[in-house]
């Protein structure tokens, strides 16, 4: 919804400002010749990142074209910006069809690479690149007759070269073998001191992590999730639903030090509850995270004691889900 509105706004104006993100503008590229190919003129979208830029014209256009209130239009823009930020935290880039690709540079700024937008290039529609046929003449001088080489001389030189190679290889291999035999006792003792203890520690560590358990959000009773660290799979242990009572609360208190798998973030409670119903997140006993300093309603489907298990569980359910620390 946001991308089509940006393109439509660019058809009316040369630039569009989105608060908290930056400015999109249209750049006209002239026709050019590159490597015997004539490229027609085209319009592309440029983007300048700025968190401090301000402008409300885009929100008003979205409200007018979608026939929604101004506050609803602002909410849609904010949710799209939040999804863009979260998406770039878990992916190197985000591609939008018929628009372009968003990514982050080494400094953390959001950058945009435009593709050819059909709506902005109606005037040049149907113009394809034209290939030019090169008129250059072959100025390579004719190859002179090569002198005749006596094959017997060539074979003698080649044989002598291989004889030197094998002689040197034999000397080197013999020297290495003598050094290994001389230092055999020292090498054995070094291995026992430095590697034997490490191998024992690795075996102990593997035994400790074979039984890892996390828990789904449920304030009445925690539902364990068995994480198979060998096959990296996550499966929920089914619990009898007759133990659940009508006193279950939809809200879950946030505790620092825990890791919460988030399946969605909303400004309104009814939107969060609708998301739980549409995505059938009741199977995971979905709850709404309560944070006094944050008014957003975050849908939680799992609570873990460590970040790695939380990320494995989130990726297994949906790659767009993320972890709240």
What are the angstrom distances between the C-alpha of 256 and each of 220, 290, 325? Answer: 20, 12, 7
The answer on 120 and 158 residing in a single domain is no
Averaged pLDDT score across all residues of the chain: 76
Q: Is residue 235 part of a domain?
A: yes
Question: Over the stretch 102-159, which tens digit does the pLDDT of each residue have?
Answer: 998 888 889 998 888 888 888 777 677 777 765 444 555 556 555 555 555 555 566 6
The pLDDT of residue 233 is 38
Residue 323 has pLDDT above 70, yes or no: yes
Highest averaged pLDDT of the listed ranges 57-61, 143-147, 302-306: 302-306
Q: Inform me whether the pLDDT recorded for 188 exceeds 80.
A: no
pLDDT higher than 80, residue 55: no
Per-residue pLDDT tens digits for 207-245: 343 333 344 444 433 444 444 444 433 443 333 333 333
CATH code of the domain containing 217: 3.30.70
Q: What is the pLDDT of residue 309?
A: 93
Q: Give how far Cα 201 sits from Cα of 91, 158, 229, 277, Å.
A: 35, 55, 18, 47
Same domain, yes or no, for 8 and 79?
A: yes
Q: How many domains does the chain have?
A: 3
Strand partners, 324: 260
Structural domain contains residue 201 = no
Is pLDDT larger for residue 100 or for residue 231?
Answer: 100
| Residue 157: per-residue pLDDT | 62
User: Are residue 165 and residue 126 in the same domain, yes or no?
Assistant: no
Question: Domain of 8?
Answer: 2-131
């Amino acid at each position: 919804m946001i991308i089509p509105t940006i393109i439509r706004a660019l058809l009316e104006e040369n630039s569009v400002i989105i608060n908290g993100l930056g400015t999109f503008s249209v750049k006209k590229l002239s026709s050019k010749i590159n490597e015997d190919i004539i490229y027609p003129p085209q319009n592309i979208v440029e983007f300048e990142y700025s968190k401090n830029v301000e402008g409300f014209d885009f929100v008003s256009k979205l409200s007018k074209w979608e026939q929604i209130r101004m506050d609803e239009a602002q909410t849609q823009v904010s949710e799209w910006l939040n999804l863009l930020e979260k998406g770039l935290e878990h992916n190197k880039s985000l591609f939008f069809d018929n628009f372009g690709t968003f990514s982050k540079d080494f400094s953390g700024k959001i950058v945009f690479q435009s593709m050819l937008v059909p709506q902005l290039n109606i005037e040049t529609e149907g113009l394809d690149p034209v290939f030019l046929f090169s008129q250059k003449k072959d100025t390579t001088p004719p190859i002179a007759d090569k002198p005749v080489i006596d094959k017997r001389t060539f074979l003698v030189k080649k044989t002598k070269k291989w004889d030197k190679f094998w002689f040197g290889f034999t000397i080197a291999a013999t020297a290495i073998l003598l050094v290994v035999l001389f230092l055999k006792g020292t090498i054995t003792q070094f291995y026992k001191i430095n590697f034997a203890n490490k191998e024992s520690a690795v075996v102990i560590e593997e035994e400790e992590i074979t039984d890892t358990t996390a828990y789904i959000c449920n304030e009445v009773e925690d539902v364990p999730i068995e994480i198979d660290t060998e096959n990296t799979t996550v499966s929920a242990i089914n619990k009898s639903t007759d133990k659940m009572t009508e006193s279950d609360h939809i809200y879950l208190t946030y505790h620092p030090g825990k890791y919460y798998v988030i399946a969605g973030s909303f400004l309104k409670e009814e939107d969060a509850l609708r998301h739980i119903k549409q995505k059938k997140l009741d199977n995971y006993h979905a709850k709404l995270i309560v944070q006094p300093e944050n008014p957003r309603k975050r849908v939680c489907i799992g609570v873990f004691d460590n970040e790695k298990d939380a990320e494995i569980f989130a990726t297994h359910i949906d790659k767009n889900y993320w972890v709240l620390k």
